[in-house]
Amino acid sequence: MLTSTWKAVALLALAAAAGAAAGSVVTARAGREGREGHGRGYGWYVDLLDRELDLSDAQRDSVQAILKRREASMDSILAEMRPRIEAARAVIRNEIGAQLTPDQARRYQDLTARLAAERKEKSKRESNHQ
C-alpha cells in the first residue's frame, strides 16, 4: 500500500509540474486582447508589470510591442507542444485511473471529461472574442 501511495503522490507531482509548465507557456504567450484582456491576452501581464515595476508610458508601450511581436512564435510553440501535453495528460490519467476503485475510476473519467469540455468551451469563447 505504501508503494501505491508514493506512486500516487509522484503522479500528482508530475501532473502538477505538467500543469505548471503548460501554464507558464500560456502565460508567456500573453498576446491577443490588449489592455482589456482580463486574464486573457497580454494586457493583464502589462498591467501586472506596470503595477509591480512602475513602468513609464514608453516602457509600457515597448513591453506591449514586444509581446505583440512575439505572439506568432509563442503560438507556434504552443501548437508544437499541445500534442505532447495531451499525450502526457493521457498517460497520467491512465496511471491515476489504475490506482482507483472501479467506482472512483468511473467518477474520475466523468471528472476529466467535464474538465476537458470546460477547457474546450473556454477556448471556443476566447477564439470568438478575437
pLDDT surpassing 60 at residue 38: no
Is 33 domain-assigned? yes
Q: Which domain holds residue 58?
A: 2-99
Residue 77 domain-assigned (yes or no): yes
Task: Kindly state whether residue 108 falls inside one of the protein's structural domains.
Answer: no
Number of domains in the chain: 1
Look at residue 122 in the predicted model and tell me its pLDDT.
Answer: 83
Q: Is residue 127 part of a domain?
A: no
Cell of 34: 490588449
Give the pLDDT confidence score for residue 66 in this predicted structure. Answer: 95
Distance CA 90, CA 84 (A): 10
For 61-117, the pLDDT digits (tens) are 999 999 999 989 998 999 999 999 999 999 999 999 999 999 999 999 999 999 989
